[in-house]
Amino acid sequence: MRSDINRWERKYQKSNAVPTLIMDPLLVEYANLLRGSGLGLDLAAGACHTSVQLTKLGYQVIALDCSLTALQIGQRVAAHQAVQLQSLVVDLSNWPIPTSAFEVITCFRYLNREIFPKIQKALKPGGLLIYKTFNQHHLLEFPTFNPNYLLRSGELAQCFSNLEFLACHDGTNVSDPYSFVIAQRPETSSVK
């Protein structure tokens, strides 16, 4: 994992970080589902654009990433947008995600299947998950991309089947390199 962390550090150190917020279209389209209160968690936050979007909607957001440089860029984006967020440098494969702690959890362009159960358990009852990352169709444009970091068709629906789906696009369209799920932890049942 250390090599991955070093790779992301180098990537962000080379970037020309202008503190302009880049709005993710998925969050814009489904903003009506975001209640705008409570604690939010942004996994693999990178330069914190998603974190800042959630904060602007009213959440108190914790941004997690393995790259200190990325989170420093994110703090500049947040300052430019006049919002505050907490950021932590963590290795997500080892970080103990608190149980039943978050009203909303987001994860964009990061895939670690081992933390899927932890993500579900970290949602409060009624909490919302917004998860979006590359699927196998990404190989059509980037054939050397590591397929281990790509979702298979139908994988999100299977892995998050304990949640109630509000929207899902799970790799069935060959022209779309992203899969996403927006799902809610049921109010009354426990997540396995």
Could you tell me the two tokens for 90? 């963590």
Phi-psi region of 63 (alpha: psi -120 to 50; beta: other; left: phi over 0): beta
pLDDT value of residue 9: 66
pTM given for the model = 0.90
**136 neighbors 171 (Cβ within 8 angstroms):** yes
| Per-residue confidence (pLDDT) for residue 82, from 0 to 100 | 94
Residues of the chain below pLDDT 70: 1-9, 12, 16-19, 189-192
Environment class of residue 96 by beta-carbon count within 10 Å: exposed (0-12), middle (13-18) or buried (19+)? exposed
What is the pLDDT, as a whole number, of residue 28? 92
Domain 2-13+31-184 is classified in which CATH homologous superfamily?
A: Vaccinia Virus protein VP39 (3.40.50.150)
For residues 104 and 38, is the Cβ–Cβ distance under 8 A? yes
Q: Where are the domains of the chain?
A: 2-13+31-184
Per-residue confidence (pLDDT) for residue 189, from 0 to 100:
59
User: Which residue, chain included where needed, has tokens 């949602």?
Assistant: 123
Q: Hunting for tokens 């059509």 — which residue is that?
A: 140
Looking up tokens 């917004």, which residue turns up? 130
Q: How far is CA 102 from CA 37, 68, 120, 122, in A?
A: 10, 23, 10, 6
- Residues 183, 120: Cα–Cα separation, whole Å: 10
pLDDT tens digits along 32-68:
999 778 999 999 999 999 999 999 999 999 999 999 9
pLDDT in tens, 67-77: 999 999 999 99
Alpha helices in the chain (DSSP H): 2-14, 25-29, 49-56, 68-80, 116-122, 155-159
From the CA atom positions of the chain, what is the Rg in Å?
16
Amino acid 1: pLDDT: 53
pLDDT of residue 38: 94
